[in-house]
Chain A
Amino acid sequence: MDNRTTSMKNLTLESDALLLCKIKDGDTAATRILVEQYVDKIVNYSTRMLGDRSEAEDVAQEAFLRLWQNLDKWRAEAPVIHWLHRVTYNLCIDRLRKKKLVNIDDVAEPEDPFENPARSLHQAQVSTMVNRAIQKLPERQRAAIVFTHQEGLSNIETAQIMEISVEAVESLLSRGRGGLRSLLEDIRPELEGDV
């Protein structure tokens, strides 16, 4: 980790600690800032993991509820988003195991809020295809792929969140990428097509 990354992390830790301290004291504005800062990431991650938008929102709500319940025990050792990611990951895995069978046809179709209709259509199609392919990956491969490629986390951070070794993350990523590639190989020209 270089100096810039370390100082960025320290800055996040400080601002998180400050926000949580204010939330503990009952500052509603601080609560709103924290929620605005992280809720989209959590919903995005859990939607990709579960393939179901409403379940993803339930998971996000549960993750934040657990954060509020643990405010008194909070220690500023890692950024809040890492803690939220870990809780979300565990909640998603629990749900996937309970569900056993994920119905891929239930993956929600993306909405259409973009200005360029051609680009929007292309993006919607790509989103659907990618979502379906992701749902076909084994859950741990899926988790590692989403943490790395969607959330932009390093292998070390992913390993910490998933509580496994960095080597195990690398192995999951390698198999996951290969799996996605073989699942989407047939439609690769469409995916890479310019709009």
Chain B
Amino acid sequence: MVDNRRHSDQSDFEFVQNLFNQVKPESASPELKAKILMSEQIRRSNTGFSELLDTLWPFGALWRPAAGLSMAALFGIILGLSAPPSTVDTDEALTEEIVAFVTEVDGQLEDIE
């Protein structure tokens, strides 16, 4: 039983190997080879650019939190500078304060009298 199975496996192996021996192998086109070589050159030029960036910014991935913090600070400054001016005139507000005080004092004097 085991021998039959082994024989069958061996026979299947030989059959399939014989098939593959007869199949014509595929080969890459010159265009594909050119594209692959080109992709390596592009990678290299990109690497050159990233090396330049590394020289300009040697702190690596720290740029992300740093950029977030800078943006938040910038947003705060812009918001602060562009806040609308108060609609109440300061002189007018002071006059109203004085009038209110005087009126209150007058009322208190009348109560005493």
**A is bound by B:** yes
Q: A residues bordering B, Cβ < 8 Å?
A: 23, 26, 28, 31-32, 35-36, 39-40, 42-44, 47-48, 53, 56-57, 60-61, 64-65, 68-69, 110, 122-124, 126-127, 130-131, 145, 149-150, 174, 176-178, 180-181, 184, 188, 191-192
The digit string for B28-47, where 1 denotes a CB below 8 A from any CB of A, is 11001101110111011000
In the complex, what residues of B have CB within 8 A of residue A31's CB? Answer: 37, 40
Q: A31-B37, A44-B27 are in contact. Are A68 and B18 (CB under 8 A)?
A: no
Q: Of B16, B24, B32, B44, which contacts A181 at CB under 8 A? A: B16
A82 to chain B, nearest CB (A): 18
A126/B23 contact (C-beta < 8 A), A57-B28, A61-B35 known: yes
- Do B13 and A177 have beta carbons less than 8 Å apart? yes
Complex contact B12–A43 (CB within 8 A):
no
Whether A130 lies near B22 (C-beta < 8 A) is yes
Q: Contacts A177-B15, A181-B15 given; indicate if A39 touches B24 (C-beta within 8 A).
A: no
Q: How large is the interface on B (under 10, 10 to 19, 20 to 34, 35 or more residues)?
A: 20 to 34
- Which A residues are in CB contact (< 8 Å) with B59? none
Could you list some 11 contacts between A and B, CB below 8 A? A39-B32, A39-B36, A40-B25, A57-B29, A65-B39, A68-B39, A110-B24, A123-B23, A149-B16, A174-B12, A184-B19
* Smallest CB gap from B16: residue in A: A177
A25 to B33, CA, bound (A): 20
**In whole Å, how far is A190's beta carbon from the nearest beta carbon of chain B?**
11
Chain A residues with Cβ below 8 Å from B33 are 35-36, 39
Q: Does chain A have a CB within 8 A of B17?
A: yes
* Cβ-defined contact, B39 with A145, below 8 A: no
List A contacts of B15 (CB < 8 A).
Answer: 177, 180-181, 188
| A23 and B23 contact, CB distance less than 8 A | no
Shortest beta-carbon contacts, A-B, top 4: A177-B12, A149-B20, A39-B28, A68-B43
User: Which of chain A's residues has its CB closest to B12's CB?
Assistant: A177
Q: Please, how many angstroms separate the alpha-carbon atoms of A177 and B13 in the complex?
A: 7
B54 adjacent to chain A (CB < 8 Å): no
Q: Which residue of B lies closest to A125 (CB)?
A: B22
* A44-B20 contact, Cβ under 8 Å, with A35-B33, A39-B36: no
Question: Are B27 and A180 within 8 A (Cβ)?
Answer: no
With both chains docked as a complex, state the minimum distance between the C-beta of A151 and any C-beta of chain B, in angstroms.
10
A176→B40 CA distance, assembly (Å)? 37
Nearest Cβ distance between residue A142 and chain B, in whole angstroms?
12
| B96 located at the interface, meaning its Cβ lies under 8 Å from any Cβ of chain A in the complex | no
